[in-house]
């Protein structure tokens, strides 16, 4: 019988579906007494282009692991879903008018078909879609929980806003240690009680973990929306590459900065790749130093600065404020007003990109004001300059030109003095920023002290005279949470007097309204401004027509929607109890599944999804809603699969194409040819190429040996490069089992590697050989009837089997799937040579191969007489006894170079081994009469002769 992959795979995919083979068991149902194991893939955005062979790489790896864990007796949760809100469907809606929900539905259907063909063991009964109201109901609910919370630094966790209000009522905010806006003033209990409700609400917004505030945001005019920092790459939008400008807008923000320290510390407790942890660490950007307050001469203003080098405070010769700094208009002298205003305007006009690409140009203006040095009382000129960022620290620096290169360059450019405060250090060419070994000089009470001591002493003195204190600063910014788009979660928020009100949990979800067009309104409001039914009736508790807005019981609803990362920040918890209508997941389910044991996905989510998810997880943990504060114990980044582009070479100014090795000195232009026209030997199918496009119809070809050979180059897999390979085609031609094994065989999971369809025949041939092992030989090489004998296996076959079991267990546990595939090939090659057809070997072999090639394994398992799926068969135990050897073929080296081999018993004493080696004719040949200085013998390993 021939190995008919199409029939076998269709059969078992159907079987798994009908028998709900891979549905995970929740507490209370049969099977939940097993230990749990949660294997998760980063869920995809269902794009219109469908999947190419690069996408399922991580899914295949996680599926192998999930299947392996089932064989090992675990109750495995291995779900899949869709991150289905997002820009592409909306952009398509803008162009065509088709509702994004329809586009999304179509794309999901296509994704599902493609995924099903690969034979994944997903539990589809738990599928989630972020755009499904039954799902985003809980995203909205979490948002309201954040709104109703503040961060208490005393208890170091999020607490209910009610506890904050109690504190305000009892003692004002002086004794409250909370994470809040920097411009929050102080008030007493009496003052608090005297505030109006609106005033109270405004103050509380400064403390809430999600808050509405006017902030400087990244505005992308082309997309018509604001973007978070992680959505901007090199100063342009990640999606589309459009310019981004800075703009002040009232937006929802997430107070993620409250969790900066815990997000940093939590990294020590998770098994994640080091580069990913480093990326998060850098993004959070913790730096220790001091806040120093400089009095402005002749005014009541103080300018706080943040510095990591308080030890260099006597080196201050000027200060620089960000042009946007709020004190700039206040302190600028009349004489400098014009110059300062012109400079501010000029910087505001510059885009983020300009500012970034142009780091070399030094610019700035003197404000005319002077600050007072806290220790020397000397006047310090105050400048503004765009090398100081408004968003970092306090938006102002104390400039120490001798110790900081940027300050140095600025001082040089504007002829500001550069006092030297370091012992024995030359600063005539550049600033001295080295800390280690540096001794401070010319610095009053700090003179003669090394860096560490000077830092401590400076902070102590600043605190003593009330001019500053030690401070830890983070680069991490609060995350903007509003998007001026249609296809996202609506906020469960309406406005009374411009102040946000939450819609109660029992009235959620607030469903996305229908709109006529998906563009911003003529007055510049977000697309939801086009909705006619978008007002909240506080009596009926439902969305009603805008015409009814009376600002008494019926109020306008929020027009922004949530960003893409809202729904993806907690979905892993929803999978634990995906169909629950009463809670986001039941306590039982949460306590049982707890966290993700293995998460596989791309490293591009390091500072976005993976940071926001950790933040929400910690918040929900603080509120007692989750049992653990890190959601994924182990995380693996899969590498990208790259495309192998093919190039044909057109002779310039002609329609003649020349084969790669005959270009010689012709001037040619390389043109991408579709990789489907290329065979395993890099030959072009000329007819197919000619029919590809009309312009190639009459093309002429200069061949080599009668063939056209293309050039090949590794590039990202993309439609525009004509190097996309579709997994459906591979499944059709070779089968899903071949695709799965080949993707693993390509190389280590975490590394980028090129796809080359040519190599797949090796893996496909292996599966055919495996099939034949279970069938009697037949002329024609196809394999006859199923034939497995009950006679006991040979010693060699058992050795082959157990060697393979050992290797495969080690490989899977180390996520080294590529080497397992090699081991299977070796095993099948050996068993074929041994003519093994013993059930004793072939039955365990079917099990160990089933995580990789589940369809063929199921088929063979059934033919072996089993009624139940192979998916839950216990993984074979490795038995050392089959691998025990009595002798070893020792490599004999001379000065470390292997020269010949010698078979010796393993239990031979060292002395006898030495005699045996020395007596060997080749030893004498190698030595040519010399006497060896030393003979190294490592029993069971090597023999090395020195001399």
Partner RNA sequence: GCCUCGGUGGCGGAAUUGGUAGACGCGCCGGAUUCAAAAUCCGGUUCUUUCGGGAGUGUGGGUUCGAUUCCCACCCGAGGUACCA
Residues within window 597-626 making contact with RNA, judged by CB under 7 A? 603-604, 606-607
Nearest-angstrom CA–CA distance, 171 and 188? 6
Residue ranges for the known binding site for ATP are 719
Interface residues for RNA in 144-163 (CB under 7 A)?
none
- Residue that is written with structure tokens 């918040």 in the block: 619
Q: Which is nearer to RNA, 474 or 592 (CB)?
A: 474
Q: Is 430 in the site for RNA (CB under 7 A)?
A: no
Site for RNA in 460-479 (CB under 7 A): 473, 475
Range 220-239, binding RNA (CB under 7 A) = 229-230, 233
Q: Which is nearer to RNA, 364 or 509 (CB)?
A: 364
Q: How far is the CB of 467 from RNA (least distance, A)?
A: 16
Q: Return the number of the residue (306 or 314) whose C-beta is nearest RNA.
A: 306
Number of residues that bind RNA (CB under 7 A): 88
Q: Based on the shown chain and the rule CB under 7 A, indicate whether residue 696 belongs to the binding site for RNA.
A: no
Burial of 771 (0-12, 13-18, 19+ CB in 10 A): buried
Q: Which of 170, 829, 835, 924 binds RNA (CB under 7 A)?
A: 829
CB of 226 to RNA, least distance (A): 17
By CB under 7 A, which span of 172-180, 487-495, 563-571, 824-832 interacts with RNA?
Answer: 824-832
* Binding site as annotated, residues: 719
| Two tokens, residue 809 | 């267990």
Q: Which 358-377 positions form the footprint of RNA (CB under 7 A)?
A: 358-359, 361
Q: Which of 788, 789, 783, 759 is nearest to 771 (CA)?
A: 783
Cα–Cα dist 324/917, whole Å: 82
Nearest distance, CB of residue 945 and RNA, angstroms: 8
The nearer residue to RNA, 49 or 356, going by C-beta atoms, is: 356
Q: Judged by CB, which is closer to RNA: 225, or 944?
A: 944
Q: Which stretch binds RNA (CB under 7 A): 71-79, 146-154, 375-383, 888-896?
A: 888-896
C-alpha R_g of the chain: 35
Report the residue number, 145 or 406, with the smaller CB distance to RNA: 406
Buried (b) or exposed (e) across 46-55, using 16+ Cβ within 10 A?
beeebbbbbb
By CB under 7 A, name the one of 44, 54, 289, 490 that touches RNA. 289
Strand partners, 236: 233, 243
Min. distance of Cβ 655 from RNA in angstroms?
28
Q: How many residues does the chain have?
A: 947
- Interface positions, 641-680, toward RNA (CB under 7 A): 680
Of 583 and 946, CB closest to RNA: 946
DSSP letter, residue 23 = P
Provide the mask over 83-112, with x wherever binding to RNA is found by CB under 7 A and - wherever it is not. Answer: ------------------------------
Residue 694 or 780: which CB sits closer to RNA?
780
Q: Print the SS3 string covering 25-90.
A: CCCCCCCCCCCEEEEEECCCCCCCCCCCCCCCHHHHHHHHHHHHHHHCCCEEECCCCECCCCHHHH
* Residue 897 interacts with RNA (CB under 7 A): yes or no: yes
Q: How far is the CB of 79 from RNA (least distance, A)?
A: 28
Structure tokens belonging to residue 566: 């809202």
- Give 83's contacts (C-beta < 8 A, 6+ positions apart): 43, 44, 45, 130, 564, 567, 568, 571
Shortest Cβ 885–RNA spacing (Å): 11
Q: Site residues for RNA, window 736-755 (CB under 7 A)?
A: 745-748, 751-754
Can you tell me the distance from the alpha carbon of 530 to that of 518, in angstroms, rounded to the nearest whole number? 8
Strand ranges in 450-594 using DSSP code E only, listed in sequence order: 468-474, 479-480, 493-496, 499-502, 535-537, 542-544, 554-556
Site track 376-405 with RNA (rule: CB under 7 A), x = hit: ----------xxxx--xxxx-xx-----x-
Residue from 29, 171, 193, 282 binding RNA (CB under 7 A): 282
Task: Assess whether the previous peptide bond of 509 is cis (omega < 30° from 0).
Answer: yes
Q: Which is nearer to RNA, 91 or 607 (CB)?
A: 607
Query: Is 218 in a helix, a strand, or coil?
Result: strand
Beta bridge pairs of residue 82: 129
Scanning residues 337 to 356, which ones bind RNA (CB under 7 A)?
355-356
C-alpha 947: how far from its chain's center? 55
- One of 31, 48, 221, 275 touching RNA (CB under 7 A): 275
User: Which of 133, 243, 266, 285 is close enough to bind RNA by CB under 7 A?
Assistant: 285
Please tell me whether residue 577 adopts helix, strand or coil conformation. helix
Nearest-10 crossing angle of helices 817-833, 795-813: 170
Scan residues 750-789 and list those touching RNA (CB under 7 A).
751-754, 756, 758-759, 761-763, 765-766, 768-769, 780-782
Nearer to RNA, 344 or 503 (CB): 344
CA 905 to chain centre: 53
Residue reference for tokens 């020397």: 376
């Amino acid at each position: 019988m021939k190995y008919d992959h199409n029939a076998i795979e269709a059969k078992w995919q159907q079987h798994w579906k009908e028998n709900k083979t891979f549905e995970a068991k929740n507490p209370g149902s049969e099977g939940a007494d097993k230990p749990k194991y949660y294997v998760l893939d980063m869920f995809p955005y269902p794009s219109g282009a469908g999947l190419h062979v690069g996408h399922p790489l991580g899914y295949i790896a996680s599926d192998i692991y999930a299947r392996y864990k089932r064989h090992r007796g675990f109750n495995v949760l291995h779900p899949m879903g869709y991150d289905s809100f997002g820009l592409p469907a909306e952009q398509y809606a803008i162009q065509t008018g088709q509702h994004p929900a329809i586009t999304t539905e179509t794309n999901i259907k296509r994704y599902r078909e493609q995924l099903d063909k690969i034979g994944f063991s997903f539990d589809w009964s738990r599928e989630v879609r972020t755009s499904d109201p039954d799902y985003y109901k809980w995203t909205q609910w979490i948002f309201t929980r954040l709104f109703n919370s503040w961060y208490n630094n005393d208890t170091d966790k999020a607490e209910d806003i009610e506890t904050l209000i109690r504190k305000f009522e009892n003692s004002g905010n002086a004794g409250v240690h909370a994470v809040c806006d920097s411009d929050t003033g102080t008030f007493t209990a009496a003052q608090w009680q005297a505030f109006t409700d609106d005033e109270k609400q405004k103050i509380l917004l400064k403390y809430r973990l999600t808050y509405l505030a006017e902030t400087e945001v990244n505005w992308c005019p082309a997309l018509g929306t604001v973007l978070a920092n992680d959505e901007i790459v090199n100063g342009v939008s990640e999606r589309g590459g459009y310019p981004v400008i800075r703009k002040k807008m009232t937006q929802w923000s997430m107070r993620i900065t409250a969790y900066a320290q815990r997000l940093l510390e939590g990294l020590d407790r998770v098994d994640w790749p080091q580069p990913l942890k480093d990326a998060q660490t850098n993004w959070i950007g913790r730096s220790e130093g001091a806040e120093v307050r400089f009095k402005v001469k002749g005014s009541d203003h103080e300018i706080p600065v943040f510095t990591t080098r308080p030890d260099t405070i006597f080196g201050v010769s000027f200060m620089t404020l960000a042009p946007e700094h709020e004190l700039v208009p206040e302190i600028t002298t009349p004489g400098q007003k014009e110059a300062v205003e012109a400079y501010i305007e000029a910087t505001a006009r510059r885009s983020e990109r300009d500012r970034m690409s142009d780091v070399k140009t030094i610019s700035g203006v003197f404000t005319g004001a002077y600050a007072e040095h806290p220790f020397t009382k000397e006047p310090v000129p105050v400048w503004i300059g765009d090398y100081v960022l408004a968003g970092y620290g306090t938006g102002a620096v104390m400039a120490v030109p001798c110790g900081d290169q940027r300050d140095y360059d600025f001082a040089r450019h504007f002829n500001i003095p550069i006092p030297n405060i370091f012992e024995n250090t030359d600063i005539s060419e550049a600033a001295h920023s080295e800390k280690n070994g540096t001794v401070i000089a010319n610095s009053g009470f700090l003179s003669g002290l090394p860096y560490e001591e000077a830092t401590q002493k400076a902070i102590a003195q600043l605190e003593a005279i009330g001019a500053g204190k030690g401070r830890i600063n983070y680069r991490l910014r609060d995350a903007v949470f509003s998007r001026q788009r249609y296809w996202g979660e609506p906020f469960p928020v309406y406005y009374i007097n411009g102040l946000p009100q939450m819609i109660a949990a029992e009235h959620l979800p607030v469903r996305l309204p229908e709109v006529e067009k998906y563009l911003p309104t003529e007055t510049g409001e977000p697309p939801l401004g086009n909705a006619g039914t978008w007002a909240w009736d506080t009596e009926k508790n439902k969305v009603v027509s805008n015409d009814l807005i009376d600002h008494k019981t019926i109020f306008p609803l929020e027009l922004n929607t949530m960003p893409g990362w809202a729904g993806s920040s907690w979905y892993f918890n929803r999978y634990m109890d995906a169909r629950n209508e009463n809670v986001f997941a039941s306590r039982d389910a949460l306590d049982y599944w707890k966290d993700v044991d293995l998460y596989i996905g791309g490293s591009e989510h390091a500072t976005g999804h993976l940071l926001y998810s950790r933040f929400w997880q910690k918040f929900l943990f603080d509120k007692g809603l989750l049992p653990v504060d890190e959601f994924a114990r182990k995380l693996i980044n899969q590498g990208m699969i790259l495309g192998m582009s093919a190039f044909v070479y057109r002779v310039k100014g002609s329609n003649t194409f020349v084969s790669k090795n005959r270009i010689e000195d012709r001037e040619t232009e390389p043109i991408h040819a579709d990789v489907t026209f290329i065979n395993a030997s890099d030959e072009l199918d000329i007819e197919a190429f000619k029919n590809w496009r009309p312009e190639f119809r009459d093309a002429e070809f200069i061949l080599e040996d009668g063939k056209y050979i293309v050039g090949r180059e590794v590039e990202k897999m993309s439609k525009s490069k004509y190097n996309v390979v579709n997994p459906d085609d591979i499944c059709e031609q070779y089968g899903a089992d071949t695709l799965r094994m080949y993707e693993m065989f390509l190389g280590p999971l975490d590394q980028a590697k090129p796809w080359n369809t040519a190599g797949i025949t090796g893996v496909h041939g292996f599966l055919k050989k495996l099939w034949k092992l279970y069938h009697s030989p037949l002329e024609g090489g196809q394999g006859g009837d199923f034939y497995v004998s009950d006679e006991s296996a040979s010693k060699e076959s058992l050795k082959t089997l157990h060697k393979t079991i050992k290797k495969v267990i080690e490989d899977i546990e180390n996520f080294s799937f590529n080497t397992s595939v090699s081991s299977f090939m070796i095993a099948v090659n050996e068993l074929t040579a041994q003519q093994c057809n013993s059930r004793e070997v072939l039955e365990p072999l079917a099990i160990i191969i089933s995580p990789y090639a589940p369809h063929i394994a199921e088929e063979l398992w059934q033919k072996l007489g089993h009624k139940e799926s192979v998916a839950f068969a216990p993984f074979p135990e490795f038995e050392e006894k089959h691998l025990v050897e009595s002798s070893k073929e020792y490599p004999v080296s001379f000065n470390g170079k292997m020269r010949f081999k010698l078979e010796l018993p393993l239990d031979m004493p060292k002395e006898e081994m030495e005699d045996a080696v020395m007596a060997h004719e080749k030893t004498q040949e190698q030595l040519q009469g010399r006497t060896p200085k030393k003979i190294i013998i490592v029993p069971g390993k090597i023999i090395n002769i020195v001399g």
